[in-house]
Amino acid sequence: QSALTQPASVSGSPGQSITMSCTGTNSDVGSFNLVSWYQQYPGKAPDLLIYEVSKRPSGVSNRFSGSKSGNTASLTISGLQAEDEAQYYCCSYAGSSTLVFGGGTKLTVL
Amino acid sequence: QVQLQESGPGLVKPSETLSLTCTVSGFSITSRYYWGWIRQPPGKGLEWIGTIYHRGNTYYNPSLKSRVTISIDTSKNQFSLQLRSVSATDTAVYYCARDVVLEEVHAYYFDSWGQGTLVTVSS
């Protein structure tokens, strides 16, 4: 069970859209629609952004959206805002009641 | 509104056992949700440790399975983590979190987290 692969960093300017990837295998991301995304600010606990690939919990801005193609899940943030600067983690069900996280992506708002 | 709070020693000696408790308030631990532990070494990413259901069903990260035990105390609305034979690589912020069930199906995501507690392994 290896960690999902996320780019170490992505950046964008305010108002732009960015997409970050989360690549797994056909044993996790590719086989189950059970990918979730979390936002984490320094020194804080993660917050849920997306679950089941593309569903947003109540209270999460519709600027955040998720998708999946094959073994790669993606998180898109539209209308980038300064407050979006944070660390982002993906997580996938990996079979046999286990979970695997990605290494995280740091989003910088220029 | 559910709240989770981790508690336990902040310093553990190498080769000893790390023990943490998560106290759940505002929500019954015997409700249909699962309960999980996740850790984050300083400056690094998140790692799932394991999950428990109130009936005692437990699921562990294969890489930690030989050293981990997660248990639940429904009378205290708490669940606990024990990690044996710790070393410096187990130094991390440890989080407890609620793992969701939707329409009777385990959905495998965490919708509520504790604030986390730093555990340092050092002599």
Chain B residues with CB-CB distance to A20 below 8 A: none
pLDDT at B103: 81
A chain contacts of residue B3, beta-carbon cutoff 8 Å: none
Q: Alpha-carbon distance B98 to A31, whole Å? A: 24
Residue of B nearest to A57 (CA): B111
Residue of A nearest to B106 (CA): A97
C-alpha distances in Å from residue A39, one per residue of A43, B49, B109: 12, 19, 13
Between CA B28 and CA A54 the distance in angstroms is 28
Tokens of A1: 């069970």
| Residue contact B48–A104, C-beta within 8 A | no
Residues A84-94: tens digit of each pLDDT? 999 999 999 99
Segment B87-112, tens digit of pLDDT: 999 999 999 999 998 888 888 999 99
Other beta carbons within 10 Å of B108? 26
- Chain-centre distance for alpha carbon B103: 24
- Testing the interface with A: which of B6, B46, B51, B112 to mutate, by most A Cβ within 10 A? B46
Binary contact (B109, A34; C-beta < 8 A): yes
- Dump the DSSP string for chain B: --EEEEES-SEE-TTS-EEEEEEEESS-TTSS-EEEEEEE-TTS--EEEEEEETTS-EEE-TTTTTTEEEEEETTTTEEEEEE-S--GGG-EEEEEEEEEEETTEEEEEEEEE---EEEEE--
pLDDT digits (tens, 9 = 90+) for B50-69: 999 988 899 999 999 999 99
Mean pLDDT for the stretch of residues A8-23: 97
pLDDT tens-place string over residues B7-46: 999 999 999 999 999 999 999 999 889 999 999 999 999 9
Q: What pLDDT score was predicted for residue B102? A: 82
In chain A, which residues touch B (CB < 8 A)?
1, 3, 34, 36, 38, 44-48, 51-52, 57, 89, 91, 93, 96-104
Token output for B9: 């020693």
| Total residue length of chain A | 110
* Residues from chain A contacting residue B106 (CB–CB below 8 Å): 97
